[in-house]
Amino acid sequence: MKKRVLAVLMAATMLLGLTACGGDGSTPAGGDVQGADGGSSSGTIKVGIINNDPNESGYRTANDKDLQAMFTAENGYDATFAYGKTNDEQINAAQQMIQDGVDYLLLSAADVSGWDTVLQDANNQGIKVILYDRTIDADPSLYVASIVSDMAKEGETAANWLKDQGLSEYNIIHIQGQMGSAAQVGRSGALLDMAAAEGWNVLVSQTADWNAEKAQQIVQSQIDAGKSFNVIYAENDDMAKGAVAALDANGITHGVNGDVIIMGFDTNKWALEELKAGNWNYDGQCNPLQASYLNDVIQKLEKGETITEKTIVMDEKGFDAKTITDDDVNTYGI
Amino acid sequence: MQKIEKKKASPMEVMKKILGRQIFIPIAALLLLVLFNLIVDPSFFAVVMKTNSAGNPVLTGNLITILDNGSELAILAIGMTLVTAAAGGQDISVGAGIAISGSVMLRVLCGTNPKPEAIQAPIIVAFLVGCLAAMLCGAFNGALVAYFKIQPMVATLILYTAGRSIAAWVNHNQLPIVPPGSFSYFGGVIPGIPIPTPFFIAIGCMILIALVLKFTTLGLYTQSVGINESSSRLNGLNPILIKFLAFVILGICVAVAGLIKVSRFSTINYSVIAKDIEMDAILAVALGGNALSGGKFNIAASILGAYVIQFLTTTLYKFNVRSDALPAYKAVVVIVLVVASAPRVREYLNGLKKKMIQNPSRKEVG
């Protein structure tokens, strides 16, 4: 009994671990794209949208809101939404949608594998599958397009920004996200590569599991150890906030004109406001707003055009405290 | 909780008494960590007075970090010990409970606007409503365990899985931010007092539970229900009520811990707040030498166990050990504890003890 309970527990924990800014870095190379045959030309387009749990993170909430706002009756869509924390739940939902005869199936998969059969069913019925946010391990011919974030590029943008600051020396505290997640791998890789190339001194690379409190403890322990540093590279906004709390508690200045440069990711609205106030220096975007891209792809297919590029990487910006405007905060804050 | 009888005893008997006492386990673990840090880097224990960005004096140092960040765990350990003793099982939904009560507090403080200019209700009201929510969660768990006789881990698995979604739903999925002000004192420092407030809150909880145990029969009843439920019933106790009460008390502890957690950053993140804290709370109880199958208990030992866990965490941060390796170190502690409390090992140790008593001369050598 105890063992079984433990097994259930472990499974639950692993599921909860799949949080944070999604999107698997590896995208399959583009293959042949299926010709579009118009689909239902009679007014509304029927779409089935499968997403992850909207409570998972602020990123996911923004992602869901964006989709809800785009796929409305006013925009000519008849949309069904389904949320699943696990592949099983999502596959059940997908099968239901296929039975209902949707025209398009939009999918952000909980898990990368196990989708072949259900997507084959969809294809057999002439339903077009579009992946968003996260890719899957399946034959590229099973889907029409895949709209993703490039986490490594986000990291590079940030590392390049840091290089452009031209500091006389770089002593960096590097706070990582949950180890192995696509966001962590991409953002860590870019910084560590740049640090190696430029001879920057990374005092510590430590994971805080996206948790502000852990980030605070990590920075506090570095301060207590008497280390001096001038850059904090946190792989999401929450952890940057935790790091800043530790600096504040020790009376260390940060942000524009401060002693320590603060870098965060995910462009939460409150984070951009910190940036605007000059408390932080940089925030990198991880774009959750995929609805317009999805809309473009669907409209093109409806017009009978073909999609030439199977993997669509979204534009993602990096914001500097010195140049950010109120417009940016309102437009890009999630 | 434990009466020490003062009488003359030989050094060996004193030794035996110390070794036999429950609180010896966490003290030994603590001494081990202290010794390790003293040898490797004594600067670990340095505490300095600094001025924070708000211009207030604060003490900083690893020891302060331990007292500060270990407090939530210490508070949870109080309730978890009672639940363990009464129900013979653990509540794994405390992390989710913290998310729910914290979310409720923020909902009351912020109203419908996630970023208000000023707080919409007095902090005490918010805390009481959050407390009520956490006690309801505790009552739900308690009813399942006490009345429906479901295994505690299975019963609390329900809230463990659903709790964080409920917490998000309370605030319509938004992340409320409490405007700066006195709310941040609970997880930070009160201007003018250089010691973090969570430590004072934890001390308050400890004093409260000590008084309750001293002046009520709660401790005795809990213990007897945990040791033998049916004979307690035959003696006129109501095991259902006692178990239920233990879960509700844990609910109060969860609310207090939740207040500290949401106060630290004046906001909440539903998926990461107090993540995996249930495992640490259970470990604190085990580290306190309490039988996880219920019965006799020692809350002081559990509280000490909680601070030992934080001591371990801070030590590992200090030496830049990867924090994703942290669970592995905790696993070692669990393995040692579980093995030490296994009946086979107990039997063997008892046999060894008897042998030592028979020929005490060997003791001096060994």
DSSP A78-124: EEEEEE-SSHHHHHHHHHHHHHTT-SEEEE--SSSSS-HHHHHHHHH
**Residue B156: closest CA among B222, B84, B228, B255:** B84
Out of A61, A217, A250, closest to residue B60 by CB = A250
Domains and their CATH numbers in chain A: 20-149+288-303 (3.40.50.2300), 151-286+321-332 (3.40.50.2300)
pLDDT at B271: 84
CB atoms within 10 A of CB A196: 10
C-alpha to C-alpha distance for A201 and B292, rounded to whole angstroms: 47
pLDDT at A38: 41
Residue A78, strand partner residues: A46
Instruction: Name the phi and psi angles at A172, rounded to 5.
Output: -110, 135
**Residue B84: closest CA among B240, B246, B216:** B246
Best-predicted range by mean pLDDT among B49-63, B134-148, B167-181, B268-282?
B134-148
Out of A5, A224, A268, closest to residue B60 by CB = A224
C-alpha to C-alpha distance for A104 and A75, rounded to whole angstroms: 15
Question: The whole model's pTM is what?
Answer: 0.82
Distance (Å) from the C-alpha of residue A71 to the closest C-alpha of chain B?
A: 20
pLDDT at B364: 47
pLDDT at A311: 86
Q: How confident is the model at residue B85 (pLDDT cuts 50, 70, 90)?
A: very high
Q: Higher pLDDT residue, B74 or A4?
A: B74
A256: Cα separation from own chain's centroid: 27
Please check whether residue B61 is in contact with residue A222, taking contact to mean a CB–CB distance below 8 angstroms.
no
pLDDT tens by residue, A11-56: 655 555 544 444 333 333 333 333 334 444 457 899 999 998 877 6
Please check whether residue B327 is in contact with residue B280, taking contact to mean a CB–CB distance below 8 angstroms.
no
3-state secondary structure chain B: CCCCCCCCCCHHHHHHHHHHCCCHHHHHHHHHHHHHHHHHCHHHHCCEEEECCCCCEEEECHHHHHHHHCHHHHHHHHHHHHHHHHHCCCCCCHHHHHHHHHHHHHHHHHCCCCCCCCCCCCHHHHHHHHHHHHHHHHHHHHHHHHHCCCCHHHHHHHHHHHHHHHHHHHCCCCCCCCCCCHHHHCCCCCCCCCCCHHHHHHHHHHHHHHHHHHHCCHHHHHHHHHHCHHHHHHCCCCHHHHHHHHHHHHHHHHHHHHHHHHHHHCCCCCCCCCCCHHHHHHHHHHHCCCCCCCCCCCHHHHHHHHHHHHHHHHHHHHCCCCHHHHHHHHHHHHHHHHHHHCHHHHHHHHHHHHHHHHCCHHHHHC
Out of A16, A217, A245, closest to residue B69 by CB = A217
Q: What is the dihedral of CA B174, B179, B180, B185, to 10 degrees?
A: -70
In terms of C-beta density within 10 A (0-12 exposed, 13-18 middle, 19 or more buried), how is residue A105 classed? buried
Cβ contact B168–A223 (<8 Å): no
Average the pLDDT over B334-339 and give the result. Answer: 77
Q: Reduced to 3 DSSP states, what percent helix, strand and coil does chain A have, rounded to the nearest 5?
A: 40, 20, 40
Distance (Å) from the C-alpha of residue B168 to the closest C-alpha of chain A?
A: 6
Instruction: Name the phi and psi angles at A264, rounded to 5.
Output: -135, 180
Instruction: Name the phi and psi angles at A169, rounded to 5.
Output: -145, 150
C-alpha to C-alpha distance for B104 and B102, rounded to whole angstroms: 5
pLDDT at B149: 94
Helices B11-20 & B24-40 angle (0-180, nearest 10): 100
The mean-pLDDT minimum among A108-122, B171-185, B228-242, B329-343 falls in B329-343
In which residue ranges of chain A is pLDDT below 70? 1-42, 56
Cβ contact B318–A8 (<8 Å): no
Distance (Å) from the C-alpha of residue B203 to the closest C-alpha of chain A?
A: 21
C-alpha to C-alpha distance for B237 and B224, rounded to whole angstroms: 9
C-alpha to C-alpha distance for A128 and B66, rounded to whole angstroms: 55
Cβ contact B65–A221 (<8 Å): yes
Question: In chain B, which residue's Cα lies nearest the Cα of A248?
Answer: B53
Average the pLDDT over B199-214 and give the result. Answer: 96
Asked if the model's pLDDT at residue B303 lies above 70, the reply is yes
Q: How confident is the model at residue B363 (pLDDT cuts 50, 70, 90)?
A: very low
* Residues of A whose CB is below 8 A from B60: 220, 223-224, 249-250
**Residue A287: closest CA among A111, A130, A59:** A59
Instruction: Name the phi and psi angles at B58, rounded to 5.
Output: -140, 145
**Phi/psi-derived region of residue A105, left when phi > 0, alpha when psi is between -120 and 50, beta in every other case:** beta
Cβ contact A5–B177 (<8 Å): no
Strands (E) in chain A, as ranges, are 45-51, 77-83, 104-107, 128-133, 145-148, 171-176, 201-207, 231-234, 261-265, 282-284, 311-313, 318-320
pLDDT tens by residue, A80-120: 999 887 888 899 999 999 999 999 999 988 887 888 999 99
In sequence order, the 6+-apart residues with CB closer than 8 A to the CB of A58 are A266, A268, A334, B175, B269
Token code pair at residue B362: 């060997």
Residue A285 in 3-state DSSP?
coil
Long-range CB contacts for residues A304-308, cutoff 8 Å, separation at least 24:
A304/A36, A304/A37, A304/A38, A305/A36, A306/A33, A306/A35, A306/A36, A307/A33, A307/A144, A307/A145, A308/A33
Question: Domain B11-321 classified CATH 1.10.3470?
Answer: yes
For chain B, the average pLDDT equals 89
Distance (Å) from the C-alpha of residue B20 to the closest C-alpha of chain A?
A: 29
C-alpha to C-alpha distance for B116 and A282, rounded to whole angstroms: 26
pLDDT at B357: 72
pLDDT at B14: 73
Cβ contact B69–A248 (<8 Å): no
Which residues in chain B are classed under CATH 1.10.3470? Answer: 11-321
B102-130 CB burial, b ≥16 within 10 A, e <16: bbbbbbbbbeeebeeeebbeebeebbebb
* Residues of A whose CB is below 8 A from B317: 206, 217-218, 221
Cβ contact B52–A251 (<8 Å): yes
Q: What ipTM does this complex have?
A: 0.87
Cβ contact A217–B320 (<8 Å): no
Please check whether residue A201 is in contact with residue A172, taking contact to mean a CB–CB distance below 8 angstroms.
yes
pLDDT at A1: 55
Question: In chain B, which residue's Cα lies nearest the Cα of A9?
Answer: B157
Residue A327 in 3-state DSSP?
helix
Instruction: Name the phi and psi angles at A320, rounded to 5.
Output: -105, 135
Helix (H) or strand (E) holding A70: helix A58-70
Share of chain B above pLDDT 90, in %: 63
Please check whether residue A178 is in contact with residue A209, taking contact to mean a CB–CB distance below 8 angstroms.
yes
Please check whether residue A176 is in contact with residue A235, taking contact to mean a CB–CB distance below 8 angstroms.
yes
pLDDT tens by residue, B229-248: 999 999 999 999 999 999 99
Asked if the model's pLDDT at residue B282 lies above 70, the reply is yes
